[in-house]
Amino acid sequence: MNHFYSAASPTNLNELVQTAIRLKKNPTQHMDLGKGKLMVLLFFNASLRTKLSTQKAAMNLGMQVISMDMKDSWAWEFEDGVTMRFDKAEHVKEAANVICRYADIIAIRSFPSLTDKETDYSDQVINNFMKYSTKPVVNLESAIRHPLQSFADLLTIREKVQKPNPKIVLSWAPHPKALPQAVSNSFLEWMHRAGHNVTVTHPQGYELHPEFMTGHTVEYEQEKAFAEADVVYVKNWSPLSQYGKVANQSEEWMITKAKLDKTNHAKLMHCLPVRRNVVIADDAMDSEHSAIYDLAENRLHTAQAVIYSILKGEL
Ligand code: CP
């Protein structure tokens, strides 16, 4: 039984990409595969794309789906041996064992607290659930990784850039709130597994966790990083060094069409949601550079490839 947790989860990444391409051409060709099976989605945080794409992906394979807003359920305890006298009503051990009696696949979204780096980087919610789960678990964005997003990112790059060694840039951009590092961490992890080196550009102090930087380089000058870029992937993340804080809101880092026009006709990518004219200017969002809606559509096809592979026992 394989969980879909990180870039290391797929046994054969190229086969998984080919499965997504094949399913995209005819999404309902395997409607019998999931017949009589249930996928349960647990959302500890808000979602638009992940909720819709994963549900539709499971339904395209004939599965039934139950999506739970965990704000309406019991608060979970994760520590073992605790006297549960306070606000936590249910241990993850019971929750996982019970859900596994009902579901064939369980998917979980749980963001970081952004108050306790050590706990966040232990990926407490999903790791503890996987510890007790007897069924495959899909990561719908955990505290430090968003593998379904990154798989869609990879498929979109394969579709849009027809060259073996594209220049891929990951650019930080400003945001008024402190955001997780999960999308950026995962993007780098998946690009590395796919054999791509990424140029990461961000202000000083916004260095990502070294665990995810293997094979990639930092260029602190955004203009230099963008030169000859084929892909510009944009994301805000909050600094590890001032954990959970907003240390920089410089508008100079916002993505504009003028910046993209100086690249090698770069495709603009962002996972969404995005704050227009804060992270990316309208003229870039609505330009010929944008691959943003195609990327969002690919969330469906890649999620379906993952669920298909789990149902087939081939992940
Ligand atoms: N990109 C993404 O995960 O979108 P949602 O947060 O809306 O699911």
- What CATH number does the domain containing 102 carry? 3.40.50.1370
Give the domain range for residue 213.
147-295
What is the spatial distance between Cα 143 and Cα 110, in angstroms, rounded to a whole number? 6
Regarding whether 142 and 42 lie in a shared domain, the answer is yes
Regarding whether 162 and 286 lie in a shared domain, the answer is yes
Share of the chain above pLDDT 90, in %: 99
Query: How far does the centroid of ligand 1 lie from the alpha carbon of residue 146, in Å?
Result: 9
Confidence of residue 259 (pLDDT cuts 50, 70, 90): very high
Residue 73 in tokens: 């359920």
What is 77-139 written as a DSSP string? E-STT----SS--EEHHHHHHHHHHH-SEEEEE----SS-HHHHHTTHHHHHHHHH-SS-EEE
Each residue's pLDDT tens digit, 217-247: 999 999 999 999 999 999 999 999 999 999 9
Looking at residues 192-215, what average pLDDT do you find?
A: 98
**Is 231 within the bounds of a domain?**
yes
Q: Which atom of ligand 1 is nearest to the CA of 296?
A: 1
Regarding whether 52 and 176 lie in a shared domain, the answer is no
The tally of domains found in the chain comes to: 2
Residue 77 in tokens: 């305890």
Regarding whether 64 and 159 lie in a shared domain, the answer is no
Each residue's pLDDT tens digit, 48-94: 999 999 999 999 999 999 999 999 999 999 999 999 999 999 999 99
**Is 3 within the bounds of a domain?**
no
> Hey, which of 41, 47, 138, 146 would you mutate to test ligand 1's pocket, going by the most ligand atoms within 8 Å of its Cβ?
47
Query: Which stretch of DSSP H or E encloses residue 283?
Result: helix 282-285
Confidence of residue 155 (pLDDT cuts 50, 70, 90): very high
Regarding whether 108 and 93 lie in a shared domain, the answer is yes
Q: Tell me which residues have their CB closer than 6 angstroms to ligand 1.
A: 47-50, 141, 149, 271-273
Identify the pLDDT of residue 302: 98
What is the spatial distance between Cα 206 and Cα 37, in angstroms, rounded to a whole number? 44
67 forms beta bridges with 41
Regarding whether 131 and 165 lie in a shared domain, the answer is no
Looking at residues 127-155, what average pLDDT do you find?
A: 98
Confidence of residue 1 (pLDDT cuts 50, 70, 90): confident
Q: Residue type for 39, please?
A: M
Which residue, judged by its Cα, is nearest atom 6 of ligand 1?
47
Regarding whether 190 and 114 lie in a shared domain, the answer is no
**Is 19 within the bounds of a domain?**
yes
Query: How far does the centroid of ligand 1 lie from the alpha carbon of residue 51, in Å?
Result: 8
Identify the pLDDT of residue 226: 98
C-beta of residue 311 within 8 angstroms of C-beta of residue 61: yes
Looking at residues 138-146, what average pLDDT do you find?
A: 98
**Is 275 within the bounds of a domain?**
yes
Q: In this structure, how many other beta carbons lie within 10 angstroms of the beta carbon of residue 315?
A: 22
Query: How far does the centroid of ligand 1 lie from the alpha carbon of residue 83, in Å?
Result: 36
Confidence of residue 145 (pLDDT cuts 50, 70, 90): very high
Is residue 119 scored above 90 in pLDDT? Answer: yes
Regarding whether 277 and 170 lie in a shared domain, the answer is yes
Identify the pLDDT of residue 263: 98
168 forms beta bridges with 198, 231
Regarding whether 164 and 31 lie in a shared domain, the answer is no
Average pLDDT, the chain: 98
Looking at residues 96-116, what average pLDDT do you find?
A: 98
Regarding whether 162 and 124 lie in a shared domain, the answer is no
**Is 7 within the bounds of a domain?**
no
**Is 4 within the bounds of a domain?**
no
C-beta of residue 290 within 8 angstroms of C-beta of residue 255: no
Is residue 303 scored above 80 in pLDDT? Answer: yes
**Is 163 within the bounds of a domain?**
yes
**Is 107 within the bounds of a domain?**
yes
Regarding whether 27 and 136 lie in a shared domain, the answer is yes
Regarding whether 121 and 88 lie in a shared domain, the answer is yes
Query: How far does the centroid of ligand 1 lie from the alpha carbon of residue 81, in Å?
Result: 35
Confidence of residue 280 (pLDDT cuts 50, 70, 90): very high
